């Protein structure tokens, strides 16, 4: 079993990667919107993604992280 600090460091590392991946995805979406404004693209967030976001937000709130 990992030591508490190692476990926490691992969680921070995964969180850092997730935030970085999200940042890159948002940049890519902005670029697509700018470069392809004449195309008809549905930019609506899929319902399963909204549900997942709500689940993550609830877990963060339950742990005092907002």
Say yes or no to pLDDT of 5 above 80.
Answer: yes
Report the pLDDT value the prediction gives residue 32, as an integer from 0 to 100: 78
Distances 20 to 16, 24, 27, 28, 57 between C-alpha atoms, Å: 6, 6, 11, 12, 18
Q: How many Å apart are CA 17 and CA 20, to the nearest integer?
A: 5
Q: How far apart are CA 28 and CA 22, in angstroms?
A: 10
Query: What is the pLDDT, as a whole number, of residue 30?
Result: 83
Write the pLDDT tens digit of every residue in 8-50. Answer: 899 999 999 999 999 999 988 888 777 776 677 787 999 999 9
pLDDT at 1 over 70: no
Q: Are 32 and 41 within 8 A, CB to CB?
A: yes
How does pLDDT run across 50-59, given as a tens digit for each residue?
999 999 999 9
Find all residues with CB under 8 Å of 29, minimum gap 6, and list them. 43
């Amino acid at each position: 079993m990992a030591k508490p600090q190692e476990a926490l460091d691992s969680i921070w590392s995964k969180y850092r990667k997730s935030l970085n991946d999200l940042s890159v995805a948002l940049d890519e979406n902005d670029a697509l919107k700018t470069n392809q404004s004449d195309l008809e693209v549905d930019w609506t967030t899929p319902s399963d993604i909204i549900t997942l976001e709500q689940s993550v937000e609830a877990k963060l709130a339950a742990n005092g992280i907002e």
